[in-house]
Chains A and B, each alone.
Chain A
């Protein structure tokens, strides 16, 4: 074989493979960023991008924001709006969301609102204590890329990365979802794309029967669970970002409501005893916090969980009620607690 033919063939094959990747990304559009996807409802949507686009479509409509991870999707926006003088909340709850996602989004909206001379009245921030010690997922994966408007990064780079991402699992799950082959429930059937997230992984790995109340037994001979939150650098980093987040709200007179997500007792049991409470306490030193992460009898009920890590609408309804000072039913009386610096109750503003 001639060297020339060999070289040209290799170059052509390489170019062909590359073009195939671009074509797959454009046609399947797993992150739903191009708007060209053959199939709707991809389980790997880039919620960071979609939330921003949704806000940008009608910025004047909103004067409030909801931040959080996928758990915050259960928070009833209409109820919040009804109870808070009709504030319209834009949804910035994103998959695997952390304060590293929320701060740039808040800064963007604040700036945008100031430019439009429109008010931003309230922010509801739901924090996940259990994942607060993990490395934030923002910008770490193709599914969690922050839009360039939020990062100041090159727009070309954002689109290039989406165009050239090699993501077999996401392509596969898009097709499976479109063909109805995905398992019902759970976060996403594409477990390969979430293996790095303990909470999401847990949701996918534990069979429903086991998830409903049964503790995930450690392997025979394995010692007690020992997840920690405050070890390592990420928890402190997130606290620093939270400080900035609070400062932005204070600076612009935005009412800030901060709460922690309720945790499934099965999941909570995988942490060092006292670790979750101590982490919540650290957060409350920065901002008054409605802490729902502590054990509660009502949370043991499997009906309260759509999967092992996501609480249902009833729990979310009770959270909002507690935060807004409703009279709680007797069985929910112990649900949620306001933590503040030095234990004093303070204004939420």
Chain B
């Protein structure tokens, strides 16, 4: 069941919220159990037999967590390592087995059929085990089951930590309807829905046109390659941040505050800034579970650089089994190292408007170019796009104008066919360019959902926020009309329901 489907919005969600607060009148434990069951139904909607996996994983990790909390340090450390290894082994079995075999025997790996949410639940539970090991906490099973299975974050994050959501689940004060949170939650939910269906979805076919052509080995012009990679960054940003906004909004309907996952990352002025603002909960988890443990004892520059590269490659591999994801992680690692070296040589410097603009443009361009590996079906296709971007692509093949809208413009004499063919080739279009420009302008110029609503859960730094003036959200008739119109617009586009990109990870 997708967040942007009618069955979710108009059947499942109202039923789940009503069930939660009806049961909460009776007891907190009943509400927790009820919402856990709702969440498992939500998961089972996708593929009922696969429900066994998260249920077994929740039971096993809870049991392990209890043992770790009760054991003495040497034993608890062993249990922790065993727990992490077991979780990683399950993930590897489903997600990486074929890829790893392909590395060994050289066969062409096929995209794995990964159980939904496995990457996210694995990380959530590993973080939980580490938390239990460090803090020696005790927790009821019901609370833990809801913590892992809570449907707003279950499928694609934000990746939650026991220290935040676990504490909220155990707080009896949260089991009463809080209309302030409901109003805020509905607002954030609508913003997220609009980001997904009004901005991200229309970009998808434009990106696919170029990347599919590259996968077939068809010619792609330099402009088309660059435009498609910018377009892809806009698509994945609005898709995933839209999903994350919806998750936060849904959490608020249940009176739980999930952490924000994006902090207007495309406005970042350097790579470190970008990775502090892009998929925040994953970056933090990777920092806490991989980079920090590896960097204990004040290591030298080389060692820290190696640790950073390793962390970024693991982030890349977490997204998918394939060399493209390894390359994507490595490229981002290299970009971070270049950023680090730059800062070491030049220092923080004086922040000027032009300097910020240049930093922002460079960061975005570098991140977008790296994103080619994220989107391409394989290394060859990525290389094909990169060659085109660098001007070494194949010459444009003779071909008809395949984009209907461009064809329409040409027929009416607004643009010439040679212009379209020489700049866009047969894979890109004027409409794609306009959509991309519009989406990026929104990302750069329009305040983010979390700025407008002032939602700050999990926002460790607030220096990215800009004053929003009259756009600051508060319940009012004007805002009600505006949000209703936005909802109707988004709802009207639900006819072309599409999956969220992050469902595949």
Chain A residues with CB under 8 Å of chain B are 1-7, 9-11, 13-15, 17-18, 21, 142, 160, 164-168, 195, 218-226, 231-232, 270
Contacts and interface: CB of A to CB of B under 8 A. Distances in A.
Contact of B416 (A5, A18, A195, A221): A221
B204 to A, nearest CB: 14
A142 B6 CA distance: 14
B494 A1 contact: no
A11 B18 CA distance: 13
23 contacts: A1-B475, A1-B477, A3-B179, A3-B182, A4-B182, A5-B475, A7-B475, A9-B484, A10-B190, A11-B186, A13-B488, A14-B10, A14-B491, A15-B10, A18-B6, A168-B492, A218-B401, A219-B401, A219-B417, A221-B417, A221-B421, A222-B421, A226-B398
Interface stretch (B131-139, B237-245, B305-313, B404-412): B404-412
Contacts of A167: 495
Contact of A164 (B6, B410, B479, B488): B6
A6 B475 contact: yes
A3 B410 contact: no
Interface in B421-462: 421
B180 interface: yes
Nearest to B478: A1
Contact of A225 (B6, B400, B421, B475): B400
A309 to B, nearest CB: 17
Contact of B401 (A4, A11, A17, A222): A222
Nearest to B181: A3
A85 B411 CA distance: 53
Contact of A160 (B7, B180, B492): B7
B474 to A, nearest CB: 8
Interface of B: 6-7, 9-10, 179-180, 182-184, 186-187, 190, 216, 398-401, 404, 407, 410-411, 416-418, 421, 475-477, 479-480, 483-484, 487-488, 491-495
Contacts of B190: 10
A226 B399 contact: yes
A346 B483 CA distance: 67
A224 B401 CA distance: 10
Sort A-B residue pairs by CB-CB distance and give the 8 closest, nearest first. Answer: A223-B398, A6-B475, A221-B417, A3-B183, A4-B179, A164-B6, A166-B495, A219-B410
Given A2-B475, A224-B400, A7 B417 contact: no
A165 B6 CA distance: 9
B495 A10 contact: no
A13 B400 contact: no
Given A1-B476, A14-B487, A220-B410, A7 B216 contact: no
Given A3-B179, A166-B495, A270-B400, 8 more contacts: A4-B179, A10-B186, A10-B187, A10-B190, A165-B495, A166-B492, A220-B410, A224-B400
Nearest to A201: B404
B404 A195 contact: yes
Contacts of A142: 495
B478 to A, nearest CB: 9
Name, among A6, A17, A218, A226, the residue most crowded by chain B CB atoms within 10 Å (CB to CB).
A6
A7 B495 contact: no
B179 A7 contact: yes
Nearest to B186: A10
A194 to B, nearest CB: 12
Nearest to B488: A17
Nearest to A11: B186
Nearest to B475: A6
Contact of A224 (B398, B410, B416): B398
B186 A166 contact: no
A168 B484 CA distance: 19
Contacts of B493: 166
Nearest to A6: B475
A165 B182 CA distance: 27
Contacts of A9: 480, 484
B488 A223 contact: no
Nearest to B487: A14
A223 B400 contact: yes
A9 B187 CA distance: 12
B10 A3 contact: no
Contacts of B492: 166, 168
Contacts of A17: 487-488, 491
Nearest to B411: A219
A222 B182 contact: no
Contacts of B479: 1, 6
Nearest to A221: B417
B276 to A, nearest CB: 32
